[in-house]
Structure 1
Amino acid sequence: MSLGTLDRSPPPFFNQGPSALSKLMFFGALSLFLMVADARFGVTQPIRSVLATALYPAQWLALQPVHAIRYGSDYLTGLRQAQSSSEEAGKKLALQSLRAGQVEQLTQENNRLRKLLGLRDQLTTSVMAAEVLYDAADPYTRKVVIDKGLAQGLELGSPVLDESGVLGQVTRVHPLLSEVTLLVDRDLAIPVLNVRTGARSVAYGDPSASGSGLELRFMGSNADVQEGDLLTTSGVDGVYPPGLPVAKISRIERRAESAFAKIYCVPQALVSGARHVIVVKPVAGQIPLRPDAPAPEAAAKKKASK
C-alpha cells in the first residue's frame, strides 16, 4: 500500500473528546474571561485567600533560614557597634577623668597663688616669684631647687615662703638656679615668737628619722607653752620679716629628770608639696646701721667740756 493512501485520522479507539485546537481556544477564552472578571468583580479573591492560608505554613518554614541569617547578621553588627561604642565611651571617660584631675589641680594651684598674692601684699620688702623645680639629690638634707638665681638678682640668705608660711632659706645661689634649705632641715634654725605668750625662742629642724617637723629647744619644763600655739617669725635675726607663720606646737614632753621640755612642732608651709613660692629680700638691708663709736680723744674732750 502506498503512503498517500494511508488514513491519517486516529482510529476510533483513541478519538476521545474535542481536538487540541478546540481546547486551546476554550481555555484561552476562559482565561481571558477570568482575568476580566477578577479585575472588575474580584471573583477569585476567596480562592486566593484559601490558597494563601493553606500555603502559609510552608511559606513560614521556607522563610525561617532567611530570618535566622538576617537575625545573626544584625546581632553581629549590633555587637560590633556596642563594642565600638563601649571603647569610645571608655576613652571619653578616661579623658574626662584626666581633665577633672587637671581642673582640680589647677583649682588648688589657683587658690595657692591667690594666697601667695595676699601674703605678698602684706610684706613691705621686695619679693620675687619662683617655682620649685625638683628636690635636691642629697638624701641627708631637706632642700629644693627653684628657677631663680643670680641673673634675676636673687640674694644669698633670702627667706622663701609659700602660701601658708615660711618654707626655708636660700643657702646656695647659681646663675640660673638656687638651692633652698627647708626649715625642717636639721642644720637650719629660725627665731620664732609664740603669738599667745609673746615669748621668743628658736626652732630647729627635727633631727629624727622622719625629719618632717621642728623642735623648740632650751625651753624650760615650766615654760608657758601649749599644744596648738602658733609660732611666727620674730624678726630679730635680720633675715625673716616679723609675723610670718612658721609652725604650730603639736606635742610637749615634760620630764622630771630634765630641766628642759621637748617641744615638737608641725610646720605651716607645705615642705613636701610646695610648687610656687615667693622669695623675700632679707630685711637686714632695711635695718639702720649702728652708729660708729666716738674716738677716745673726742670722748675725752667731750667729758672735759662738761
Structure 2
Amino acid sequence: MPLGTLDRDPPPFFRQGPSALSKLAVCSALALFLMVADARFKMMQPMRVMLATALYPVQWLALQPVVLVQTTATYFTTVASAESAQEEARKKLSLQSLRAIQVEQLELENLRLRKLLDLSPRLAAPAKAAQVLYDAADPFTRKVVINKGLMHQLALGSPVLDEMGVIGQVTRVYPTMSEVTLITDRDHAIPVLNARTGARGVAFGDTSTHADALELRYMAANADVAVGDLLTTSGVDGVYPPGLPVARVEKVERQVDAVFARIYCVPLALVSGTTHVLVLDPLSDQMPARPASELQAASPKGAGLR
C-alpha cells in the first residue's frame, strides 16, 4: 500500500482538543466575568438563592444530631441552674423580707425623730425603668446608652442604678435615648459616705487596677478606712439621694512620705453587665432654689463688689 494513501490524522481516541493553558485562560476569564457581574449587577443572586433552597434540607438533616445533643445538654443544664437559682432566690427573698421590715421600722423612727426635731423630711426621687441598649463607641470611656430620653421626661444629670447600687449618671440626653457615664469612668466623680465611720469623701473612676474599679481620693494617710467598708452616696451634691450603695473598699495603701492614702474600691452594682436599670430624677429639681443674696455673693461680680 502506498504511503500517500494512509490517514495521517490521529485516531479519535488520542485527540487532545484545546491545550490546558487555553482551558485555564477561558475558565479564568469566565470566573472573572461572573464575579464582576455578581458584584455589580447581582446576576448570580437568583442562582445562589436556588442553591441555598435546594441544599437547605440536606443541611437541616446534617445538623439534627448536633441540635439534639445541644438540646439535651441545655435541658439538663437549665434544670440544674433553675433549681440553683430558685434556691438562691428563696434565700434572697428571706433576707429582703427581713430587711424590708427593718427599713420600715427605721423609716417610722426617722419620721418621728424629724417631726420631733422639726426637720424637713427627706426628698423622695421618682424613678423610671430603662433598658441598656449598647456600650458607647468610644473605647477610652465607660459609657452605656439606654432607651429613654427627652420623650420620656428624662433629665440631664439623673442618677442611674440597678438592684445592687449606683452604676452612673445621665450625661447626655437625646429624644429617644440617653448616654450614661458609669461610675468607673476616669472623669466621673461621686460624693460618698463611709457607712462605718460617717466620713465623707469623693470616689473617682479608676482603671489602673482592673477594668471596673474606683479610687477614694484625698483621704488622709491616717484616715479611718478599712478593707470591706461600705461606701454610700452622701447626698450633698444635690444629684444622688443619700444612702444608695456605691462601692466597697478593696485595698488600702498607706505610705510614710505620702499625704493621702491610696484607697481602691470595687462597685457593688453590675456596672459592665447590667441590662435593666432604674433612672431617678436628680434631687436638684426638688431642692429649693438658692437665695438671691447667696447667688450674688457666689458670682464674680458680687465678689468684686465686696
TM-score after normalising by structure 2: 0.59
Q: Which residue of 1 aligns with 2:190?
A: 190
Residue 90 of structure 1 deviates from its aligned partner by: 3.5
Deviation at 1:226, TM superposition (A): 0.7
CA distance in 2, matches of 1:258, 1:169: 32
Distance (Å, rounded) in 1 between the aligned partners of 2:252 and 2:74: 49
Q: Distance in 1 between matches of 2:277 and 2:166?
A: 10
* 2:260 is the counterpart of 1:269: no
Given that residues 186 and 211 in structure 1 are in contact (C-alpha distance below 8 angstroms), is that contact kept between their aligned partners in structure 2?
no
Partner of 2:160: 160
Q: Deviations over 1:84-119 (max 9, x none)?
A: xx98963651452575489589979x99xx98xx8x
Q: State how far apart, in whole Å, the 2-side matches of 1:236 and 1:87 are.
A: 58
Unaligned 5+ segments in structure 1 are 1-85, 295-306
Given that 1:190 and 1:202 are in contact with CA atoms closer than 8 Å, whether structure 2 keeps it comes out as yes
- Matched residue type, 2:274: A
> Could you tell me how far 1:187 is from its partner in structure 2?
0.5
- 3-state SS, counterpart of residue 265 of structure 2: strand
1:144–1:105 CA distance, 2 compared to 1 (3 A): farther
The reply to whether residue 284 of structure 1 matches residue 284 of structure 2 is yes
Alpha-carbon shift at residue 272 of structure 1 (Å): 1.4
Aligned residue number for residue 25 of structure 2: none
CA gap of 1:276–1:181, structure 2 versus 1, over 3 A, is: same
- Cα distance between partner residues in 2 of 1:156 and 1:220: 33
What residue number does 1:208 align with? 208
Question: Which of the two has higher C-alpha Rg?
Answer: 1
Whether the 8 Å contact between 1:158 and 1:170 is mirrored in structure 2 is yes
Is residue 165–residue 246 contact of structure 1 (8 Å, CA) maintained in 2? Answer: yes
Q: Secondary structure at 2:226's aligned position in 1?
A: coil
Q: Secondary structure at the residue paired with 2:151?
A: helix
Equivalent position amino acid for 2:75 in 1: Q
Q: How do 1:1-306 and structure 2 match up within 5 A?
A: 90=69, 93-94=72-73, 96-97=75-76, 100=79, 124-208=124-208, 210-293=210-293
* 2:53 paired residue number: none
Amino acid at match of 2:127: V
Residue 260 of structure 1 aligns to a residue whose secondary structure is coil
Moved over 4 A (4+): 86-89, 97-108
Deviations 1:63-88 (A, max 9, x none): xxxxxxxxxxxxxxxxxxxxxxx989
Letter in 2 for 1:90: V
Give how far 1:137 is off: 1.5
- In structure 2, the CA distance between the partners of 1:174 and 1:124, relative to structure 1 (3 Å rule), is same
Aligned length: 204
Q: Which runs of 5+ in 2 are unaligned?
A: 1-64, 108-122, 295-306
SS in 2 for 1:219: coil
Q: Helix, strand or coil: the match of 1:216?
A: strand
Letter of the 1:201 partner, please give it: G
TM-score (norm 1): 0.59
Look up the equivalent residue of 1:278 and give its one-letter code: L
C-alpha distance in 1 between matches for 2:263 and 2:137: 30
Q: Equivalent residue of 1:220, what SS?
A: coil
Q: Structure 1 CA distance, aligned partners of 2:277 and 2:197?
A: 30
